[in-house]
Structure 1
């Protein structure tokens, strides 16, 4: 089944260019266009697209506000930010609003299609600049409000093994515990540090310098 896409951008030429290109791609169906954030919300409710290509700097309502409003009502609707801005004042609020991806408008057309398809598979798609800003922000906020002494000795041992790139099975063998116990420890680590996955946990460990 084709991916149904809504394009939200206040520049007519940009919208037309995206429509023209994406219509040539197999498996993509452009169901509508919006010229500002308010219209994006209205079209999202009317058309129920699978994914919205969302600009940020738009009149009436910007893309961040629109993204937040849409995600609050349609949790499963994917939003890929496509913008010219790569600073923390745009990247971080956009991702916090619920966007599944963040790409710049100078992206190669084929890479844009890849990003759309990847997001529909449940993956995050971030421009390298956006990734850097998010990691820096994540590290700063977690370091400020989540002291490492919340982790038990065993959880610290598991975190160190994660940092070393070991699988659950390898961690279990190394620490002489079961894989089920490893999973429990990882769940506790992510919960205590307010992280989403083991990759974020490893990044946090590196940035905090806890095992230096």
Structure 2
């Protein structure tokens, strides 16, 4: 079995205890290529996986499907209580979820039992409840994201720039459009999102985890043409030739 955890000390202590119970354990270095190390140690067995693996790695749950594809079972061991994340892990195929706040001996017993084929938390009714709550969360999240569907590709780009801290003037220069055009688009964004300021628009976008559509990045804003000078009729007349 293998431990994938950025808290190296805890992983080493758990591994050492389980080694003493006749289990062959390995602690993966999360600073190196995680999947490559796991594949180098075999093609089956149990991987005890943390959900937070440091700034340089994706979230732990993103490793579940690749690990299952390699033939491993995955047991989540997390220091953060997030029932929606736990439900997603179970949905992806994790055999169970344990919390690091549990008693140390309980963790050892549960991991040992999992290696012997015993069931691990959560139980059936708890899993069903977590799945229902995840479905409801997703429904509410989709509902809160619906107003963003009304944004045009250019409005999405403007909102994305505002979210990264760009001012209207900076967006104007970057997109090669007038400042008045950018301000008009910002007003349109706030109106469509039913908020009263661009700060509220940014807060709402962060709250629902909004990201611009691929179509927004595919639409490159064209520079605005400078206004044409209107020539007078006198200037348009052909010069008379004196005879």
- TM-score range relative to shorter protein: 0.5 to 0.7
1:93-108 map, 5 Å:
93-108=88-103
1:87-126 map, 5 Å:
87-126=82-121
| Higher strand residue share | 1
| Residues 1:102 and 1:109: Cα distance change in structure 2 (over 3 Å) | same
On the 8 A contact 1:6/1:34 being kept in 2, the answer is no
1:13-24 map, 5 Å:
13-24=9-20
Aligned match for 2:60, one of 63, 68, 72: 63
- TM superposition shift of 1:63: 1.2
User: Which runs of 5 or more residues in structure 2 are unaligned?
Assistant: 136-243
| Residues 1:72 and 1:58: Cα distance change in structure 2 (over 3 Å) | same
1:1-212 map, 5 Å:
5-24=1-20, 26-35=21-30, 39-48=33-42, 50-59=45-54, 60-74=57-71, 77-127=72-122, 132=126, 134-139=127-132
Q: Map Cα deviations across residues 63-85 of structure 1 (whole Å, 9 max, x no partner).
A: 101112111232xx221111122
Q: For residues 83 and 67 of structure 1, what CA distance do their matches in structure 2 show?
A: 14
Q: Map Cα deviations across residues 62-117 of structure 1 (whole Å, 9 max, x no partner).
A: 2101112111232xx22111112232221111112221111001223332233223
* Partner SS for 2:25: strand
Q: For residues 67 and 130 of structure 2, what CA distance do their matches in structure 1 show?
A: 24
- TM superposition shift of 1:139: 4.7
| Residues 1:52 and 1:89: Cα distance change in structure 2 (over 3 Å) | same
- TM-score with structure 2 length normalisation? 0.47
Q: For residues 139 and 62 of structure 1, what CA distance do their matches in structure 2 show?
A: 23
Q: For residues 117 and 63 of structure 2, what CA distance do their matches in structure 1 show?
A: 21
On the 8 A contact 1:78/1:120 being kept in 2, the answer is no
* Partner SS for 2:113: helix
On the 8 A contact 2:15/2:26 being kept in 1, the answer is no
* Partner SS for 2:81: coil
On the 8 A contact 2:14/2:108 being kept in 1, the answer is no
On the 8 A contact 1:11/1:35 being kept in 2, the answer is no
Q: Which has the larger radius of gyration?
A: 2
- Count of aligned positions: 132
* Partner SS for 2:98: strand
On the 8 A contact 2:3/2:28 being kept in 1, the answer is yes
What's the RMSD between the two structures over aligned residues?
2.8
